[in-house]
Amino acid sequence: MNHPKQLYLGERFDDLEKLYMKLPPDIKDREIDIICRSARKLMEQCDENYIKRDEELAYVGYMKLINLVQVIRKNKDYARKKEAITRLLGTQSDFNRIFEKLSKLKNSLEARYEERARQRGGSATLSRAVELERASNGRQPVLGKEAPMVVPIASGQRQSVTATELHAMINDSRVSMLIMDCRPAKDYEASHLRYAYLVNVPEHLLVAGMTAGKINHALPPESRTLWSNRMVKEQVVLMDWNTSGVPVKDTPLYILNYTLCHYDQDIEDTKIIRLDGGYESFVLHYPASCTNPSYRPPTVLDAMGDNIDDIEYPNISDIPMKEESFTKPGFKPTIDRNSKVAAVTLYEARKKPLEDILVEHEQILDKSKQNALEIINTETELKNLEQQQPLEPGLDETQESLLYEVMQLKDRQRDYEAEKARILEEEQSYKQLEQEQKERGEQISSEQAEQLEREAYERRLRDKEREQRELEEKCQRLARERETKLALAREQKRHLKENNVPEPVKRAYPEDDQRSGPYAGNATPARMPLFDRSAKPLADHNHNVRTRDLDVVQRDFAPVYGSVSAYSTFGSSSKPDGKMVVVAGYKIKLPHYHQLIPYKKGRGLTGLKNLGNTCYMNSILQCLSNTHFLNEFFHDPSFKMHLNRNNKTQGKIGEEVAAVIKALWTGQYKCIASKNLRYVVGQYERQFGGIEQQDSHEFLTILMDWLHSDLQTKQMQISTSLDQLPPSEKAWIEHFKGKDSYISELFYGQIKSTVKCTRCHKESATYESFSNLSLELPQDSNICYLENCLDMYFNGEEVRGWHCPKCKSNQDAIKKLDISRLPSILVVHFKRFYADPDTMATVYRKKQTLVKFPLSELNMTRYLARTEVNRNKRLTTFRYHLYGVSNHYGSMESGHYTAFCLNNIHQKWFKFDDYNVSSIDASDVQASAAYILFYSCLPDRPQSDTVR
């Protein structure tokens, strides 16, 4: 059928809404399987109607399908049956095609209804197609009423309209306009304007680093079509609840305006206008043009108030001190033995608490025993390799890989020991509690059988502890033997260096047989020397690198092609079943305690080759690659428009990082080499171009500054002179020299440092920007909590001899840090390396403290400066979620870096160990190897390729 079927379902396009909104009243109570089958049948009917060109029926059917999908997603069984539903109804890509069909059907139907009304002599509302035609022809028909005058403005400038002017614009069909309401979704649903082209952009989406593409992705399907109208409308009107005049920086209205002006290439010629006074002003003037005009949002009492005169701490006794930081137990409750009532209440709150601890104790022992066996097996494999060939000054690739595995296993064993110590302490606490209650004559266990069962349990634990001690002794004996041989190898290597004897060479990656890149044309190809995981600080900063060799002409990722797939394992109590499965074209037998779960070929599971101790660089690059917003920014070709060619690095660092991230997400490679990035980085910081081990935190800090400088092209919008701005805002602008970048919007925050005189209580405040927080760890503790470390950083400390400007003399004072600006991406670094004060020469040691940090729901609002709460109010409802960890295993003398990252496609954690990528369980992310944590508070949580 060449022509669309004649219109028959309604007189106007709006009549179709009544049809697709009619769902059975009991649809929410039906089983999800029945709803899914109905949705599948409806989808097939819609496709058939679309082919037959029955546009009305197809449009109504597709819209009803979208409503059904929303019902399915809200069903209590959706999460459990998500994969089956996706197989039945299709992926997000399939629904994107449906949205495209809906857009085409809507445009066609609007034009056809209007044409039919015109033929019948009636009047119809201007459709988008007619508006587009008029815009392209530049014609404005003269109607009986003059349109309000809108002064043309350049893109990026700000202009406001009053409620009266907006009302006139709404009622003038000649005005091509889209209104964006950035109030919270619940306020918008409760009351909003009566206007066809009105879209709600909820304020929780409007945070620093947001782009137009991400807003579109986060909006519900029914809002995306309206959001896309910004590309064809002549002007966009922004409104919140009650903003008058210039919006305050970092408020939702400001960020929405900034995003449209700077990070939306589709509306370069569109005028951006604000409604002065917001929705509150409009509803007061024209209540009939609003739904539910009597609605008022709940008022939030600001405990800080506006009358504190910028005083951070009115009472000096309110300042918590650093000494209190590690006295608190973190996230674990304590047992108050001074209170009988508290002790009995705690005991009664948990049924059989000691039994629970004993079970946890046994689980830790089982894990520790299994880990010790793996250490013994790996050490034995290393020993066998050394016996097969003469020991050389260096180790081959296999030996090095096994050494790294031993490092990681030993770190994990240390974590188990810390956990066991904590459990034993808790066990003793409960035993003491029971003993005290027995002495008071209180009955704890009414059944003698329970006591006998507990004693049997404890005997089993003692047996397991004895077995574990024997295994640990064997591990230590093997380690001592290996250390003796390594010491001999190091001594031989030292003699070779002193006598200038050339060292043997080997490849940095076993499959990298071809020579390419900047060294490809040399007659004698440059080869990587033996790996030397030396300690920092370093004496040799790559003096052998020639600058002319660092000029990158053509990128060479030296990729290893292959199926990009990952497999996860989970424990099983079943015995060996001999089941055969096919993996990557080969038949393998399942292990007796594991099953393999194949993942879809996905992006972001590509490893990075080690180019000679570049694991520190690989670890950071993988974490940045899995920073979802940064990843999408670099994948957008328009990011090159933001490159700054007038700085020291001339945009080269930004280009190379983007190239590496895009290569990691093609889904075509097992691993790649970041050769060009390493060469370019080495041009500007020579130690990063060499082959010595470096510190991943130092590399990250410098890299962030480079990336910010390479993308620093956006002029900050300053509404008044610097002297009239708040001190924090003035310091922010001065630090960045009046120019923003996408990096500063994502990663940078601001610290407020307050010094308060203990005599006159005079306060003095300074501000400093940061891209990461470096937190102290306890000196003599095997385990602590992230909350303790944050308290240590932000709590007060005494300052002797501070010159008080009010007392005009040196006085004792208290210094306190607070956050004045929260970043969207929070990077936390643990200070694990320190100079040993007990040694004559400068010797660096490593703290192996196990830090317990949350994988989600990290609340940072308690560390906000009291005077800066309003600036960060948009973040008070958010919590940070963890998505990346840079790990360091081993010691200063011999160490290795890896990364744990949450993949946004698979919604699963993966371990990136140079070119090896493997899935891990979320419970394994917390480890004493954690060195740098990457948290995000952005509303865009990892997306999966499922029905949304």
pLDDT at 7 over 80: yes
Q: What CA–CA distance (Å, rounded) separates 108 from 54? A: 12
Q: What CA–CA distance (Å, rounded) separates 104 from 86? A: 25
How big is the CA angle at 316 (ends 314 and 320), to the nearest 5 degrees? 115
Q: Are the CB atoms for 237 and 180 separated by under 8 Å?
A: yes
| 919 conformational bin, left if phi > 0, alpha if psi -120 to 50, beta if neither | beta
Helix 55-74 vs helix 92-119: angle between axes, to the nearest 10 degrees? 140
The residue with greater pLDDT, 18 or 1, is 18
784's tokens: 């602590």
883's tokens: 């998505």
- pLDDT band for position 665 (50/70/90)? very high
HSE-CB for 812 with a 13 A CA cutoff: 6
User: Any idea what DSSP says for residue 157?
Assistant: -
**pLDDT tens sequence across 892-911:** 777 899 999 999 888 899 99
| 320 conformational bin, left if phi > 0, alpha if psi -120 to 50, beta if neither | beta
Is residue 740 helix, strand or coil? strand
pLDDT at 240 over 90: yes
Residue type, 39: A
pLDDT at 428 over 60: yes
Q: What b/e readout covers 541-577, taking b as 16+ CB neighbours within 10 angstroms?
A: eeeebeeeebebeeebbbbbeeebbbebbeeeeeeee
Helix 340-349 vs helix 397-439: angle between axes, to the nearest 10 degrees? 120
- pLDDT band for position 582 (50/70/90)? very low
Please report the sign of the dihedral spanned by the C-alpha atoms of residue 269, residue 275, residue 278, residue 282. negative
The predicted structure's pLDDT at residue 148: 33
List of residues 6+ apart from 568 with CB closer than 8 A: 596, 597, 599, 908, 919, 920, 921
The predicted structure's pLDDT at residue 182: 93
367's tokens: 């894990």
Other CB atoms within 10 Å distance of the CB of residue 896: 27
The residue with greater pLDDT, 586 or 727, is 727
**Of all residues in the chain, what percent carry a pLDDT higher than 70?**
69
Is residue 321 helix, strand or coil? strand
Q: Which of 21, 46, 201, 234 is nearest to 131 (CA)?
A: 234
Q: What is the dihedral of CA 122, 126, 127, 131, to 10 degrees?
A: 140
Three-class secondary structure assignment of 249-311:
CCCHHHHHHHHHHHCCHHHCCCEEEEECCHHHHHHHHCHHHECCCCCCCCCCCCCCCCCCCCC
The predicted structure's pLDDT at residue 792: 93
Q: What CA–CA distance (Å, rounded) separates 618 from 621? A: 5
How big is the CA angle at 837 (ends 835 and 838), to the nearest 5 degrees? 125
Is residue 821 helix, strand or coil? strand
The predicted structure's pLDDT at residue 826: 96
**pLDDT tens sequence across 172-205:** 888 899 999 999 999 999 999 999 999 999 988 8
Residue type, 435: Q
Q: What CA–CA distance (Å, rounded) separates 867 from 752? A: 10
Q: Taking residues 568-590, what's their average pLDDT?
A: 36
Q: Taking residues 133-144, what's their average pLDDT?
A: 37
Helix (H) or strand (E) holding 705: helix 696-710
Q: Which of 86, 256, 272 is nearest to 161 (CA)?
A: 272
Q: Which of 520, 565, 519 is nearest to 545 (CA)?
A: 519
Q: What CA–CA distance (Å, rounded) separates 159 from 161? A: 7
The predicted structure's pLDDT at residue 491: 65
Cis, peptide link before residue 537, omega less than 30° from 0: yes
Q: Which of 100-114, 568-582, 877-891 has the lowest mean pLDDT?
A: 568-582
Q: Which of 71-75, 749-753, 814-818 has the lowest mean pLDDT?
A: 71-75
Q: What CA–CA distance (Å, rounded) separates 914 from 898? A: 7
The predicted structure's pLDDT at residue 403: 76
Percent helix, strand and coil across the chain, each rounded to 5? 45, 15, 40
pLDDT at 58 over 80: yes
Q: What CA–CA distance (Å, rounded) separates 780 from 421? A: 14
* Average pLDDT of every residue of the chain: 75
List of residues 6+ apart from 416 with CB closer than 8 A: 364, 367, 368, 371
Q: Which of 101-115, 248-262, 353-367, 446-460 has the lowest mean pLDDT?
A: 446-460
Q: What b/e readout covers 635-669, taking b as 16+ CB neighbours within 10 angstroms?
A: eeeebeebbbeebebbbbbbbbbbbbbebbbebeb
The residue with greater pLDDT, 857 or 554, is 857
Q: Are the CB atoms for 784 and 777 separated by under 8 Å?
A: yes
Q: What CA–CA distance (Å, rounded) separates 224 from 220? A: 7
Query: 135-144, 464-473, 502-511, 861-870 — which one is most confidently predicted on average?
Result: 861-870
The predicted structure's pLDDT at residue 312: 76
pLDDT at 674 over 70: yes
The residue with greater pLDDT, 859 or 305, is 859
Three-class secondary structure assignment of 568-633:
EEEECCCCCCCCEEEECCEEEECCCCEEEEECCCCCCCCEECCCCCCHHHHHHHHHHHCCHHHHHH
The residue with greater pLDDT, 382 or 556, is 556
Q: What b/e readout covers 708-728, taking b as 16+ CB neighbours within 10 angstroms?
A: bbbbbbbeebeeeeeeebbeb
270's tokens: 């569109």
User: Tokens 């290569």 map to which residue?
Assistant: 663
Q: Which of 816, 802, 811 is nearest to 759 (CA)?
A: 811
Q: What CA–CA distance (Å, rounded) separates 42 from 58? A: 10
Instruction: Indicate which residues carry an active-site annotation.
Output: 615, 896
- pLDDT band for position 115 (50/70/90)? confident
The predicted structure's pLDDT at residue 516: 35
β-sheet bridge partners, residue 933 = 828, 885
Radius of gyration of the chain (CA): 32
Q: What is the dihedral of CA 92, 93, 97, 98, to 10 degrees?
A: -20
704's tokens: 């962030």
The residue with greater pLDDT, 121 or 763, is 763
Q: Taking residues 902-924, what's their average pLDDT?
A: 91
Q: Which of 412, 535, 406 is nearest to 836 (CA)?
A: 535
Residue type, 843: V
Q: Are the CB atoms for 782 and 418 separated by under 8 Å?
A: yes
**Of all residues in the chain, what percent carry a pLDDT higher than 90?**
28
Q: What CA–CA distance (Å, rounded) separates 658 from 647? A: 18
**pLDDT tens sequence across 316-369:** 777 888 877 776 554 443 333 344 444 444 444 444 456 666 676 777 777 777
Q: Are the CB atoms for 815 and 797 separated by under 8 Å?
A: yes
User: Tokens 């994990």 map to which residue?
Assistant: 412
Q: What CA–CA distance (Å, rounded) separates 171 from 173? A: 6
